[in-house]
Chains A and B, each alone.
Chain A
Amino acid sequence: MDALAMGNYGPYVWSCFALAFIIVVFVEWRSRVRHHRVYRDIEVQIKALEDRQ
Chain B
Amino acid sequence: MSTPLLAAMRGVSKSFPRVARRGERLRALGALLAGRERLDSTAVLSGIDLAVHRGESLGIIGQNGAGKSTLLKLLTGVLAPTSGTVETHGSVAALLELGAGFHPEFTGAENITMAAALLGFEADELAARREQILAFADIGRYIDEPVKHYSSGMVVRLGFALVAARRPDLLITDEVLAVGDEAFQRKCIRWMEDFLGGGGTMLLVSHSMYHVQKLCRHACWIHGGRIEAQGDVHEITQRYLAWQERRIAAERGNESSAVGSGHEFHVASMAVNGESGDVPAVIDFGDGLEIDALIASRDGREPVFALGILRADGTPVYGCTSEIDRARPLAREAGGFRFRLRFDSLNLLPGSYFLRAHSQDPEGMRLFDTVERALVVRGKSRDFGLVRLAHRWEQPGQGDAAQ
The answer to whether A and B come from one shared complex is: no
Chain B residues with a Cβ under 8 A of chain A: none
